[in-house]
Amino acid sequence: MLTNRSKQVVKREMTLMERMYLPAIFGGVIITIRHLFRKAATIKYPETKREIAQIWRGQHVLKRDDKGAERCTACGLCAVACPAEAITMVAAERNRGEENLYREEKYASTYEINMLRCIFCGLCEEACPKEAIFLTDRIIETDYAREGFVFGKDKLVEPADARIDVTPRQTPAVLEFKKHKQLSHNK
Amino acid sequence: MSFLLYQTILCGGIFTITLAIAAYSTYAERKVAAFLQDRIGPDRAGPFGILQPLADGLKFFMKEEIIPNVSNKLLFIAGPCIAMLTALMAGVVIPWGSTLEIGGNVYSLQIADLNVGILYVFGVVSIGVYGIMIGGWSSNNKFSLLGAIRASAQMISYEIAMGLAIIAMIIMTGTLSLGEISAQQAGGAGSDWSMWNVVYQPVGFLIFLICAFAECNRTPFDLPECETELIGGYHTEYSSMKLGFYLFAEYINMFISSAVISTLYFGGYNFPFMNNLGLDHNTITILGTVFLFGKIFFFIFFFMWIRWTVPRFRYDQLMDLGWKVLIPLSVANIVVTAFIILLSNR
């Protein structure tokens, strides 16, 4: 009754036309034959790929800064924000001479995302104060075993010589939001 | 060419064609299903998936063959054999074409023109029930048994209506031989305006068609193997090529039913204006065979078309339809036909 969509069930005898089945079958047959000439909705996946949105949320990337140092400082805010609890990390202290590898004194020695747990909501990206983690338009490849879906730093950190463009993810609204430095996590 | 050699070639040819058509019916079924549902269907094996039946057959042969310990092994193996054998046997009496004249000799394109042709088909089809029944019973599985019981009850019920529909037909044609029934429907549009039997026996045709669906265990009468209630029905316990034989037999039955419907009601190898084109006899025969296969393919398509349109009947609806509707209707059809024949012959 709440939706106003409930219907009173009527149990009545079928009329002669209904009991003959044939008119109804004829109607059904006409409907199905029309579909014979309709264009198939199938996309032959490996050969042709479905167009995906620019802001598609796929495999994550851990960004490096302009000098090639990892941005992540292992603060753990992404892990806290993650509703699926897919992110784990171990923090480590930067040694002397590693300044070109890690941007700040603390970094993540291991950083793992379980792609089977991840729901690709993008909350980690939102939580990150260092703009280190982004979701990209790459699709996670399938595998036969579960182990392959726990992505470590080897798969997540972008290669220094092959940067991954995340500008499409930063829509005008996001950029506008990031201008407001008074908002806590943009400090 | 000796008679024996010719018959061997003809038998081998028809055997091969039957198997090929049955194999490609499985492919066509999936393609038709796909097209009716706005999909593409199998297209990976060869161009347009044309090699799919070969891949399916290979898969069936490679699968592990499981014979349950609790089953009756002899009958378990006999089941699919009988189903396959009877399915293939019915093709013998169907006239695949008129006659060919080669070097003064006349060759018939019918393997055996039995004077009890229709009865032979009926006999073979009713033996086919044993394949399903024995298979389902010997599996020693409740679902198989239920499927087998349903199959036999359904087939026996619908055979009655089917036979009665044919009786009206026989009253009209005066013969049981499929060869003669085909020959009687020659002419038609263009020459003497004697029409195909469907014009004189529309009700009989309808009953026969519905019963053919039931006999082939096709939707909407596919209760013996309905997945939702009986897992796989009578072939639940079967695996490997034995399962393949059951499925294959179903498609052969569909092909043979289509051939019988075409022969009895749609003029067999005859086509309109066949005597007005001024072609020689052999050309007409070959064209006629092509037309017959065209009709058969249409009916096979029709079987599939209905399958992907109509949902399955409930079991009581099935029995109601068979006993309370089709049998009285076919009896009425016999009476009306007999009266008309009696009055017109006076």
Which residues of chain A have a CB within 8 Å of the CB of B310?
Answer: 25, 28
Which residues of chain B have a CB within 8 Å of the CB of A31?
Answer: 309
Select from A179, A183, A171, A175 the least CA-distant residue to A56. A171
pLDDT (0 to 100) of residue A112: 92
Tell me how many domains chain B contains.
1
Query: Are the beta carbons of A29 and B305 separated by less than 8 Å?
Result: yes
State pLDDT tens for residues A22-78: 888 898 899 888 888 888 888 888 888 888 887 888 899 998 888 888 889 999 999
From residue A155, give the alpha-carbon distance in Å to each of A62, B11, B26, B209: 9, 64, 45, 62
Query: Considering the domain boundaries, does residue A102 fall inside one?
Result: yes
B3-36 vs B281-307: helix crossing angle, rounded to 10: 40
Query: Are the beta carbons of A36 and B36 separated by less than 8 Å?
Result: yes
pLDDT (0 to 100) of residue B298: 92
pLDDT band at residue A92 using 50, 70 and 90 as cut-offs: very high
Sign of the dihedral defined by the CA atoms of residues A44, A45, A48, A53, in that order? positive
Higher pLDDT, A174 or A137: A137
Query: Are the beta carbons of B306 and A41 separated by less than 8 Å?
Result: no
User: Any idea what the Cα angle at residue B216 is, between residues B70 and B322, rounded to 5°?
Assistant: 100
Instruction: Give the domain range for residue A98.
Output: 60-186
- Greatest alpha-carbon pair distance for chain A in Å reads 92
Residue A116 clears pLDDT 70, i.e. is over it: yes
Query: Considering the domain boundaries, does residue A5 fall inside one?
Result: no
From residue A89, give the alpha-carbon distance in Å to each of A74, A86, A108: 7, 10, 6
**Token pair 């805010």 in the structure block, residue:** A77
Query: Are the beta carbons of A25 and B306 separated by less than 8 Å?
Result: yes
pLDDT (0 to 100) of residue B200: 82
**Token pair 């034995």 in the structure block, residue:** B242
Distance, in Å, from the CA atom of A125 to the CA atom of A71, rounded to the nearest integer, reads 13
Query: Considering the domain boundaries, does residue A70 fall inside one?
Result: yes
Q: Are B269 and B283 in contact (CB under 8 A)?
A: no
Which residues of chain A have a CB within 8 Å of the CB of B40?
Answer: 40, 42, 44
Query: Considering the domain boundaries, does residue A18 fall inside one?
Result: no
Q: Which of residues 28-47 of B touch A (CB under 8 A)?
A: 34-40, 43
Distance from CA of A38 to the nearest CA of B (A): 6
Select from A49, A51, A71 the least CA-distant residue to A60. A71
pLDDT (0 to 100) of residue B192: 64
CATH number of the domain encompassing residue A157: 3.30.70.3270
Give the type of residue at B235: H
User: Considering CB atoms only, which of A33, A40, A44 is closest to B305?
Assistant: A33
pLDDT (0 to 100) of residue A183: 61
Query: Considering the domain boundaries, does residue A46 fall inside one?
Result: no
Query: Are the beta carbons of A32 and B43 separated by less than 8 Å?
Result: no
List Cβ neighbours of B268 (8 Å cut-off, separation of 6 or more): B95, B178, B181, B182, B185, B262, B288, B292
Answer whether A28 touches B (CB < 8 Å). yes
pLDDT (0 to 100) of residue B193: 65
Query: Considering the domain boundaries, does residue A29 fall inside one?
Result: no
Select from B55, B59, B124, B116 the least CA-distant residue to B90. B124
pLDDT (0 to 100) of residue A80: 92
Distance from CA of A130 to the nearest CA of B (A): 47
User: Any idea what the Cα angle at residue A47 is, between residues A46 and A51, rounded to 5°?
Assistant: 85
- Interface A–B counts its CB contacts (< 8 A) at 34
ipTM metric: 0.75
Tell me how many domains chain A contains.
1
Residue A181 clears pLDDT 70, i.e. is over it: no
Query: Considering the domain boundaries, does residue A169 fall inside one?
Result: yes
Distance, in Å, from the CA atom of A114 to the CA atom of A124, rounded to the nearest integer, reads 13
SS3 per-residue string spanning chain B: CCHHHHHHHHHHHHHHHHHHHHHHHHHHHHHHHHHHCCCCCCCCCCHHHCCHHHHHHHHHHHCCCCCCCCCCHHHHHHHHHHHHHHHHHHHHHCCCCCEEEECCEEEECCCCCCCCHHHHHHHHHHHHHHHHHHHHHHCCCHHHHHHHHHHHHHHHHHHHHHHHHHHHHHHHHCCCCHHHHHHHCCCCCCCCCCCCHHHHCHHHHHHHHHHHHHHCCCCCCCHHHCHHHHCCHHHCCCCHHHHHHHHHHHHHHHHHHHHHHHHHHCCCCCCCCCCCCCCCHHHHHHHHHHHHHHHHHHHHHHHHHHHCCCCCCCHHHHHHHHHHHHHHHHHHHHHHHHHHHHHHHC
pLDDT band at residue A113 using 50, 70 and 90 as cut-offs: very high
Which residues of chain B have a CB within 8 Å of the CB of A42?
Answer: 39-40
pLDDT (0 to 100) of residue B196: 81
Which residues of chain A have a CB within 8 Å of the CB of B308?
Answer: 32
Chain B contact probe: residue of A16, A22, A36 with most B CBs at under 10 A: A36
Chain A contact probe: residue of B304, B310, B321 with most A CBs at under 10 A: B310
Instruction: Give the domain range for residue B60.
Output: 3-345
DSSP H or E stretch at residue A107: strand A106-114
Tens-binned pLDDT, residue by residue, of chain B (346 aa): 677 888 888 889 889 999 999 889 989 999 999 988 888 888 888 888 889 889 988 998 898 888 888 888 888 888 889 889 988 888 888 888 888 887 778 887 788 888 888 888 888 888 888 888 888 888 888 888 888 888 888 888 888 899 899 998 888 888 888 888 888 887 666 556 667 888 888 888 999 999 999 888 887 888 777 777 777 778 888 888 888 888 888 899 999 999 999 988 888 888 777 777 777 878 888 888 898 899 999 999 999 999 888 888 888 888 888 899 899 999 999 999 999 888 887 5
Query: Are the beta carbons of A32 and B38 separated by less than 8 Å?
Result: no
Query: Considering the domain boundaries, does residue A39 fall inside one?
Result: no
pTM: 0.80
pLDDT (0 to 100) of residue B237: 86
Q: Are strands A87-93 and B99-102 parallel, antiparallel or unpaired?
A: unpaired
Q: Are B203 and B296 in contact (CB under 8 A)?
A: no
